[in-house]
Amino acid sequence: MPLHTFYYHAFGLNIHSELEIPPLMESKCTSIPDVTIKRGEVSITGLDKPKKSTPFFQTCKDQLWLNVPDIARFLVRDGNSIVVEAYPGSDEQSIRLYLLGSCIGTILHQRKTLVMHGNAVRFGDQCVIFAGHSGAGKSTLAAAFHKRGHEILADDVCAIDAEGRVAPGLPQLKLWQDAARKLEIDTGELERIRLQVEKYTFPLSESVSEHLPVAAIYILSSHNRDEFEIQQIKGMQKFNPLKNNTYRMGILEGLGLKTEHLGLCSKLAGRIDLARIIRPNDGFKLQQLLELIEADLQEKGIVAA
């Protein structure tokens, strides 16, 4: 039997966990949990009748089986339970990474929360999401805004509640060595996300506790030309970009939640401004990117001119 249960609150959820998850804020609330995280046995072969099946993940209605070789197998069920079975010799740090990524993302999907693959940055009483595929520069951009005094609500996993507000996620950003250098952040003091990679955890000293409405979403991408481009996306055109930038869409499809997700996307589409920003892929040109976004936010009246 476990000696201790850890109580956390993040993504709008009360989480009771047998595993310690340091990046999460400990919560005093020990009442009924929304989600429990337990150690236990997880099948080596996967689910009984999976809807989608690869050697690494399998999905069916309300269940995800996730197999991260040499790290752990996870079973995520019904929007309220995660069971973890570690591979011998794996480290807790690596296990936490997948717990707080694909697993918590799936819990949120199962609870019919819209989860965007993006970072949420506070602007006044609202927030703006920077979405895009891995490597698009979401965390770098969020860190740059943080340096300018903006609070960060979410990194990578961006949960949007039924009122169209972002629920604060982890009080940290994950930054690659090169991005940290660009931002003049000394990684000597930071912990690596895993010993095997040169990506670091940048802790956020202040954390936001309230949910903040999403004012705008920017989708980040790049091209091989030298100029920046910003395309405003209107009306029905908003739908596909929101769908394509949903967190772990491949998992969501197998959970049998496509119809619900469709509804969530169209509801959000009606509430937000959406634009695509294309930057030169040759060098990040962070300063210009920040100025472009700030100018656009002023034009949209999200920040004061």
Partner 1 sequence: MSEGIFWLASYPKSGNTWTRAFIANLRHEEPNEEVDINTLHTGAIASCRGWIDEVLGFDSADLSHDEIDLLRPAIYRWHAREANDGGYHKVHDAYTYLPNGEALIPAEATAGALYIMRNPLDVAISFAHHSNCSIDQSIENMGTPDFTFCGNTRRMTNQLRQKLLSWSAHVESWADASEINRLVVRYEDMRNDSLATFTRMCSFLGLPDDEYSVQIALDNCAFDKLQQQEKEKGFSEKAPHHESFFRKGKVGDWQETLTPEQIDRIVNDHHTVMKRFGYLDGSGNPVTALPLDRVS
Residues of this chain that bind partner 1 (CB under 8 A)? 54-57, 64, 66, 68-70, 97-98, 101-102, 133-135, 176-179, 193-194, 196-199, 223-226, 248, 250-251, 280-282
Q: Tell me the closest approach of the beta carbon of residue 226 to partner 1, in angstroms.
A: 8
Q: Tell me the closest approach of the beta carbon of residue 278 to partner 1, in angstroms.
A: 11
Element containing residue 110 per DSSP (H, E): helix 104-110
Q: Tell me the closest approach of the beta carbon of residue 282 to partner 1, in angstroms.
A: 3
Burial (CB count within 10 angstroms: exposed 0-12, middle 13-18, buried 19+), residue 80: middle
Q: Tell me the closest approach of the beta carbon of residue 74 to partner 1, in angstroms.
A: 10
Q: Which residue has the tokens 């400990």?
A: 26
Handedness of CA 81, 171, 249, 162 (dihedral sign): positive
Element containing residue 13 per DSSP (H, E): strand 13-17
177-180: long-range pairs with CB below 8 Å, 24+: 179/137, 179/139, 179/140, 179/143, 179/284
Residue whose CB is less far from partner 1, 81 or 177: 177
Residue whose CB is less far from partner 1, 97 or 153: 97
Report CA dihedral (4, 9, 12, 17) to the nearest 10 degrees: -20
Q: Tell me the closest approach of the beta carbon of residue 251 to partner 1, in angstroms.
A: 6
Residue whose CB is less far from partner 1, 122 or 279: 279
Residue whose CB is less far from partner 1, 98 or 239: 98
Residue whose CB is less far from partner 1, 144 or 179: 179
